[in-house]
Amino acid sequence: MSGWGIRHHGGEVVSIQRGFGSEMEERANKYNAEVPKDWNGIIMQKDGKFLDKYTMGEAVLMLPFFIPAHVLSVLFNQTPNGFTLFYQAFLGFAGTFYMLAGLFILKKILEKYFKPKTIYVALITLIFGTNLFHYGTYDSIFSHSYSLFLFAAFLYFLPNWFKNISKMKYSVVLGLVVGLITLTRPTNIILPVTFILLWGLDLRKVGERMKLFWNNKRNILTAVLVSILCFVPQMIYWKEITGSFLCFSYQGEYFDFLHPQISNVLFSVEKGAIFWSPILVLGLFGIFYLRNKLKSWLLPTTLFFIINLLIISSWWAWSYGGGFGHRAFVESYAVLVIPLAAVLDKILTLRKKVLQIIILALISILIFLSIYLMINYWNGHLKPNGTTLEQFLNTFPAK
C-alpha cells in the first residue's frame, strides 16, 4: 500500500520506513542530488515524512497482480522493490485487464437495450474513437481504466439494487462498489450519488422515491457504512503521515469553481476532450435519444455530465498534466456508451442507405484519426503536454 518504503542492501531487506522515505533517499543517491520535497505526487511533510497525495483505491485493485509479481521477484532473485521487471509486467497488464473487464460489463449492460450489431459498433467506436485504448494499454498505470471498470460494475448492479432494495446483501455489494469508486478517485463519488438519486426517477413521483428510501433506510445506511469502511485504511494512512484522519492530500492544489475552464477542457488544441476525440460529440448528442426506452438513464446521465464537466474544468491544472487527450473523462465513457449506442442504433436503422453510409464513413474517419494521433503520441511526435496547433498539424504528412 502507499506510504511504506522498503530499504534494500544487496537485495536484502534491512529496514522499513514510513512515508516513502527510503524511495526518496534512493532516488536522491542515484542522481547525486538532495532528497526532493515534492516528486510525482509524493510530498514531504514538516516532520520529514512523505505523503502520497493519491488515494489507495488503485493499489487495492492492483493487489491481485502485485502479489504474484512480488513472489516471482523473490523466486528469481530480483530486487522486490515494486519497480523491477515482474512488477512492471504484471502491474502494466492490470490496467489492461480492468479495461477489458469494464468493457465486458458494459457489453452486458448494452445487451439489455440493443441488438448485437449496435453493441459492437458502439464498443469499437468507444475503444478506438477516444483515448480509452491508450489508457488501457500504453498508460495503463493511470487510474482511469480501474475507474472505468468500477463505473461499469456500479451501473450494471444499480438496477438490481433498486429491484432488491429490501435485501441487505444487495446494499452491502452496492456500498463496496461505491467505496472503491471513491477510494480510487474521490471526485468520482458524483456518479453513484447522481444515479442513486435519479435512476428511473419520474419527477412527478419524487414522493414515492423518498418513501422507498425511507422504508429501506436501514439497508441504505448499511450501504453508506460499507462505503465509509472502504475508506478506513486510507484514513489510517493519513493519520500516520499527517496526524489527522481526514486531510486534503493534494496540498497546494485547488478547485476554482468561479472560473471553470470549460472551453479549454472541451475544445483547446492542448487537451480539449472533443478536439482530440471528436466522436464524443456523437455520444453527447445521443443523450437526446434517451427519452424513450432509455428514459431511466436520461436524468442521471445529464446531471452527471454537467457536474463532472464543472469539476474537471474547475481544477487549477485544467489540462491534468501529461497524457493523450484529456484523461479526466476516460472513466465517464462508461456512462457515455449508453447514449452513444442509442444514436448509433438510430443511424444503423436509417432507411436512407446513402445517408447511413455517409454518416458511418465519417465515424470511421474519426476513428482512424484517433488511432493515427495515438500512434503519433506513442512515437513521440506529439508532446504529453502543451501541444500547439502547429505541432498538431505537423503530425500530418505534407502534401
DSSP string for 70-81: HHHHHHTT---S
**pTM score over 0.85:** yes
User: What does DSSP assign to residue 106?
Assistant: H
Q: In the numeric block, which cell numbers belong to residue 289?
A: 435519444
What is the CA 342 to chain-centroid distance, rounded? 23
How are the residues of the chain apportioned to helix, strand and coil, as percentages rounded to the nearest 5? 65, 5, 30
Distance of alpha carbon 87 from alpha carbon 108, whole angstroms: 31
Distance of alpha carbon 155 from alpha carbon 196, whole angstroms: 10
Distance of alpha carbon 139 from alpha carbon 141, whole angstroms: 5
pLDDT, one tens digit for every residue, the chain (399 residues): 344 443 333 333 333 345 577 777 776 777 667 777 777 888 888 888 889 999 999 999 999 999 999 999 999 999 888 888 999 999 999 999 999 999 999 999 999 999 999 999 999 999 999 999 999 999 999 999 999 999 999 999 999 999 999 999 999 999 999 999 999 999 999 999 999 999 999 888 999 999 999 999 999 999 999 999 999 999 999 999 999 999 999 999 999 999 999 999 999 999 999 999 999 999 999 999 998 889 999 999 999 999 999 999 999 999 999 999 999 999 999 999 999 999 999 999 999 999 999 999 999 999 999 999 999 999 999 999 999 999 999 999 865
Task: State the sign of the Cα–Cα–Cα–Cα dihedral 343, 348, 353, 358.
Answer: positive
Distance of alpha carbon 134 from alpha carbon 143, whole angstroms: 12
Q: In the numeric block, which cell numbers belong to residue 49?
A: 515524512
Sheet of strand 42-44: strand arrangement: 38-39, 42-44, 50-52
